[in-house]
Structure 1
Amino acid sequence: MDTAEAIVALLVVLVIAVSLLSNVLVLICFLYNPEIRRQVPGLFTLNLTFCNLLLTVSNMPLTLVGLVNKGQPGGEGFCRVVGFLDTFLTTNSMLSMAALSIDRWIAVVFPLSYHSKMRHRDAAIALGYTWAHSMSFSTAAACFSWTGYHHLYASCTLCNARGNSSRTQFVVFTVLFHCLTFLVSLVVLCVTYLKVLKVARFHCKRIEVITMQTLVLLVDIHPSVRQQCLEEQRRRRQRATRKISTFIGTFVLCFAPYVITRIVELFPAVPVNPHWGLLSKCLAYSKAACDPFAYSLLRNQYRKTCADIVNRMLKRSSLNASGPRMENERNHGAQMTE
């Protein structure tokens, strides 16, 4: 193993650790807080967390084994099953992010009719489509024996194990798969979140106008208070832009290099550096570690839930520690009275 492969292996280990801890924490918050469970976006978040966790415990460790041993982990049939999971889980997670963006678009653009437009039944139908879409492509790949060990990515994933006999069909399938999954999800993310950003900026401008009119009327207001109000308006605008940039930016940064590499490798005349193939696969895996922070853990509701869980655990441990001490003090007092 050369230096570049060792660095990629360390990155995979880091991604596994962060993804496992963060997604488990999101799942704990979901199970602990009934308010999160009642919200419609919680279903999309739960589905995304489930996909990320399963990808973390199944595909990522096997990629690490393939990278270290420079060979296929397990037998041919086992690797095909893992390749099926890789295709299914990656597709499902992409579509779950698109569903979350649609939910945010409805909530921001149609706030008064959100509860009638996006109910739990509607969310279940959307999730049903994501599962059907993911299952159809992954099942087709498995039926045509287009899953197996790919040396370029050191993982069990989509690959043309049948050779030149089905090359044309595999090329058509790969292009169609990435267009209907990655490209469609990216378009949905960009359209919905840019509309959300437009509405957010409009509301910020309205609030800013009202604030400025109020500040003009309050002639006796201290300049520091006036400056603080204006600074808060500026932070609100930046916060909305930063959130949208995070959603779209992490999606493109993590998935685009891998998808582009998968398309480029379809042309034998264009060589692909093996180190770049490993790095692009590691970037795709890193999305499972980014999602809990982008969609859940940085939100106030999840942060308060985490703080509540920690406080309850500390309080319980302190009570358990004080119990024996109080018992000893009672016994000591009884002995003194005797």
Structure 2
Amino acid sequence: MAFSLSSCLYHENLFCKVRGSFDISLSTCSILNLCCISIDRYYAVCHPLTYRTKINHCIIVIMILLSWGVSALIGIGVIIAGLNNEECGERCLIDVLIENTIGPIFSFYLPVIIMLCIYLKIFLVAQRQARSIQNTKSGATVSKMERKATKTLAIVMGVFLLCWLPFFLCITILPFINNSVPVPVIETLNWLTLSNSMLNPFIYAFFYSWFRAAFRIIISGKIIQGDFTNTKLP
């Protein structure tokens, strides 16, 4: 926070650009991790019988490496583009494309489209599964399950879009308005995106008892006292 309020807010030296690169890389990785989680949920809900074979240790490692690798490439690409801007009399076209088009597409727009499609599919499958068990549960219970599933997905994606969309829209339109957006506005939008990482644990804890149980295991230190691989959470 102190660094954001310092001279980096108005003057971009090399150290500030490195800070910006880490900011972009970590934020991108956060979004890509959410995308990977949505893929995991898709197989867990839509293909439960083949889940263990589809989402194995090898696939998980690949998804983690891809998330961090793509994030690092985008962060490095943006800082290189920023350094090239100093050599150009005016902003180079390729650097504008990297900073304001290609970067946001791979950091935000593409993962968001993937997540929206996956969660829509999950919701439709969950509805179909809820209807299929009407013979064993009352219609009111099924309706309640459907409403909860809808509310959970809507809140998770709604908060995510509310926090991230304004910043990326602002970054995308900057070249078309001659970078006339005040720097404090951009920094405020940036802090709004970071707040999503703070809000997510509260959202999951409110809706999922298994998340609360897992969080208690971690906070209490029990996670390092034994093997919880096969632990069944409520």
Unpaired runs of 5+ residues, structure 1, are: 1-59, 148-159, 213-228, 314-338
Correspondence for 1:254: 163
The DSSP-based 3-state class of the residue aligned with 1:136 is helix
TM-score, normalized by length of structure 2?
Answer: 0.81
Correspondence for 2:133: 207
Among all aligned residue pairs of Structure 1 and Structure 2, give the percentage whose two residues are the same amino acid.
Answer: 23
Matched ranges for 1:217-256 at <5 A: 229-256=138-165
Q: Distance in 1 between matches of 2:60 and 2:206?
A: 21
TM-score, normalized by length of structure 1?
Answer: 0.58
Matched, 1:76 2:13: yes
Correspondence for 1:113: 50
Q: How far is 1:102 from its partner?
A: 0.6
Aligned residues: 220
RMSD: 2.9
Correspondence for 2:199: 290
Q: Distance in 1 between matches of 2:14 and 2:53?
A: 47
The DSSP-based 3-state class of the residue aligned with 1:267 is helix
Matched, 1:176 2:102: yes
Q: How far is 1:165 from its partner?
A: 3.7
Correspondence for 2:112: 186
Matched ranges for 1:307-326 at <5 A: none
1:91–1:134 contact (8 Å) kept in structure 2: yes
Q: Distance in 2 between matches of 1:182 and 1:128?
A: 18
2:42–2:122 contact (8 Å) kept in structure 1: yes
Correspondence for 1:29: none
Q: Distance in 2 between matches of 1:311 and 1:88?
A: 31
Correspondence for 1:85: 22
134-143 or 301-310: bigger deviation: 301-310
Structure 1 residues 309 and 127, CA, compared in 2 at 3 Å: closer, same or farther?
Answer: closer
- The letter of the residue matching 2:108 is F
Unpaired runs of 5+ residues, structure 2, are: 223-234
Of 27, 46, 66, which residue of structure 2 is paired with 1:129? 66
Q: How far is 1:78 from its partner?
A: 2.2
Q: Distance in 2 between matches of 1:141 and 1:103?
A: 30
1:197–1:241 contact (8 Å) kept in structure 2: yes
- The letter of the residue matching 1:168 is L
Of the two structures, which has the highest relative contact order with CA contacts closer than 8 Å and spacing of 6 or more?
1
